[in-house]
């Protein structure tokens, strides 16, 4: 048996899972931004736009970054924020377990690891908010009211929760 209690293992893996889920939310939000701001037009058929969303939501952040950069008209602030977060996402997904497994076995190491993972989760949320705000601003420039955006968002959230 490892010199680690079940509770200690659960504490770390819960934070890993939360950071991963926050990262997935950020990926979906960046994909939505790509479609709303750079791909879809108000005159396209709903099925075509749904296909764009499905494709964008299947992409990693790296691919989304490349697609957004390829448009040539994304704000530099968004590009830089996404580029900076990709390193954190890749570390979380591909390297965190291997590089930090020893940290699990000391109180100070575990605390530092948990703090680092929590920061990644916070950064993912910040990235998602940044891209959500950019998407909403674009929709408002197209003439969609803030009230309509809020109603549609609430409806989607309700459908997601009750599904």
With 0-12 / 13-18 / 19 or more C-beta atoms within 10 angstroms meaning exposed / middle / buried, residue 84 is: exposed
Task: Give the C-alpha separation, 52 to 12, whole Å.
Answer: 36
As for how many domains the chain has, the answer is 1
The reply to whether 58 falls in a domain is yes
Global model pTM greater than 0.85:
yes
| Domain ranges, residue 43 | 6-162
- Reading the block at residue 146, the tokens are 């803030």
Residue 43 in domain: yes
18-61 residue pLDDT tens:
999 999 999 999 999 999 999 998 888 889 988 999 999 999 99
Q: What is the DSSP letter of 104?
A: G
In a domain, 1, yes or no: no
- The pLDDT score that the predictor gives to residue 2 is 58
Q: DSSP label at 42? A: T
Give per-residue pLDDT as tens, 74-124: 999 999 999 999 999 999 999 999 999 899 899 999 999 999 999 999 999
CA proximity to 32, closest of 12, 13, 54, 10: 54
């Amino acid at each position: 048996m490892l010199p680690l209690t079940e509770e200690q293992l659960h504490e770390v893996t819960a934070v890993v899972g939360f950071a991963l889920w926050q990262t997935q939310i950020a990926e979906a939000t960046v994909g939505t931004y790509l479609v709303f701001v750079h791909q879809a037009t108000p005159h396209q058929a709903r099925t075509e736009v749904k296909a764009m969303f499905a494709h964008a939501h299947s992409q990693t952040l790296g691919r989304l970054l490349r697609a957004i950069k390829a448009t040539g008209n994304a704000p530099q602030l968004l590009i830089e924020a996404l580029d900076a977060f990709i390193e954190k996402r890749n570390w979380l997904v591909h390297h965190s377990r291997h590089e930090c497994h020893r940290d699990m076995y000391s109180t100070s190491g575990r605390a530092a690891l948990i703090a680092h993972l929590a920061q990644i989760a916070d950064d993912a949320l910040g990235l998602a908010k940044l891209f959500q705000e950019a998407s909403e601003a674009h929709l408002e420039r197209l003439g969609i009211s803030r009230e309509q955006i809020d109603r549609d968002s609430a409806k989607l959230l309700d459908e997601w929760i009750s599904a």
